[in-house]
Amino acid sequence: TRAAMSVPLITGTGAWRENEAAGVKRPNPLDIESPHDGKVIARVEMGTAADVNVAVAAAKAAYGEWSSLTMKRRATIMIKFHHLCEQNAEELVGLICKENGKNRTEAQGDLAKGLETVEWAFSMPQLAQGRILPVSGGVYCHDFREPVGIVTSIVPFNFPFMVPMWTTPIALVAGNCVILKPSEKVPLTMRRVADLMYEAGVPKGAFQMVNGAREVVDALCDHKDIAALTFVGSSAVAELVHTRATAAGKKALCLGGAKNHLVASPDCDVEMASSDIVVSFSGCAGQRCMAAAILLTVGEQTKLVEKVCEKARNLKRGQESGCVGPVIDKAAMERITRHITAAEQDGAQVLVDGRSWSCDTGYWVGPTVLKFPPELKDHPAMKEEIFGPILCVLTVKDAAEALAVENADPHGNAACIYTQSGETADWFARNFGAAMIGVNVGVPVPREPFSFGGLEGSRSKFGQHDITGEGAMNFFTKVRKVTTKWTSKPNAVPDMASFAGVM
């Protein structure tokens, strides 16, 4: 369209752009619409498998020099990158609001939380050093970390800055070369961030971005010279990507979706819990894997549910602080409203109806509260990740039933208990079928130095390790163990466990 032609084209970036073959045929660029009003704000280049091949070749060329720098030197570069992000915070926050639809406070949080993981990467020289120990007479062992090589991260739309920062700074400080595939729905933020990376001193071969969709993802999974891959997205796609990447011989860590349960004990603080619940399911328009999906009230808790509905109804649409922003696109809006309509038709009570926010400009769904009778506890809206500002409410008779409902969900991502009893909190924290637990905290995101990730073996995590902090350091490094002897003298004390020249 003429409007699309007048907006910028967002391309991939890095050393591969300087080496790409002439006349590469790519799919037509994709229009990027502002969720706020539906207007085209940019177009994004759709890459190909050939682009991935060139990017990998450029990373291989850069790897020797980048990995030979000391970890302290690479961390110093990341400190400068952090400083540049803070200097350009207003611009980055503006880009997040523009392309994702977050309100201003949420966009600031996206930036701040991403920078926390950059700060953790600063500390790696103090955390990654190896160990050394005499293990026998004249024999000692030591170990040390090395980068795994060329790595890739495939990230979603919902946090344009934070999720790429979960992996990128840690992988870079470890000495790897990174190829990032941003979401094709939100390419603007990371395109600007790439410029700041290069300004900080990261070589253009050490950090590259290739935009695109399935063809690029498949090529990243399959390329034999990519050693490790991370992915964040829906459970179905996470499982497919993990299967394909591991079949190609890669380390792979793929985080999937969630269906997070909040349990309200009869002794909960109604005012505090209701505010927290509303923020949990409505914040970021419900487009986060840590959002509340289901509220289980132990017994009928009319006051709590009424307070939740009152506070949800009072929320306004918009991108100012305290408002609920739009969902990412028309397809998301239509999917979310279909879930609401289907639940209503099947017998759920619509206590707060966010469908009234629909309008001709932008993609808006308001906070919605659905009350399900016991016979509908297995309704699709109670089982599937909706990824929108919807809270499903179900009454259970006691704590044991609440736990049984939560444990039956296969996602294993997050859960929360609202109570004023330490005993109750401890029981749920130890028995929830999730990895990230909140006590009176409805968005229990672990903050650094604690790492982020769902329960291994669940639908929220395919692979080992958490994706941030120490888990990421372990994922993006390999450990060598060296056993050394410099003396020919026999052990002073017989050591039957030593294989050092003894038969």
Q: Which residues are catalytic?
A: 289
Cis peptide upstream of residue 449 (ω within 30 degrees of 0): yes
Cα–Cα distance measured from residue 310 to residue 278, given in angstroms and rounded to the nearest whole number: 10
What is the phi-psi region of residue 457: left when phi exceeds 0, alpha when psi lies from -120 to 50, beta otherwise? left
| E strand residue ranges, 323-465 | 349-352, 368-372, 390-396, 414-418, 436-439, 461-462
Cα–Cα distance measured from residue 476 to residue 479, given in angstroms and rounded to the nearest whole number: 10
Q: Which residues contact 314 (CB under 8 A, 6 or more apart)?
A: none
Q: In a 10 Å sphere around its CB, with 0-12 CB exposed, 13-18 middle and 19+ buried, how is residue 119 labelled?
A: middle
- The neighbour count for residue 195, using CB atoms within 10 Å, is 12
Q: Are 92 and 108 in contact (CB under 8 A)?
A: no
Q: Give the type of residue at 78.
A: M
Cα–Cα distance measured from residue 333 to residue 340, given in angstroms and rounded to the nearest whole number: 11
Cα–Cα distance measured from residue 167 to residue 118, given in angstroms and rounded to the nearest whole number: 9
**H-only helix segments in 181-328:** 188-200, 214-222, 235-247, 270-282, 302-313
Pairing of strands 390-396, 368-372: parallel
Q: Are 137 and 86 in contact (CB under 8 A)?
A: no
Q: Are 99 and 34 in contact (CB under 8 A)?
A: yes
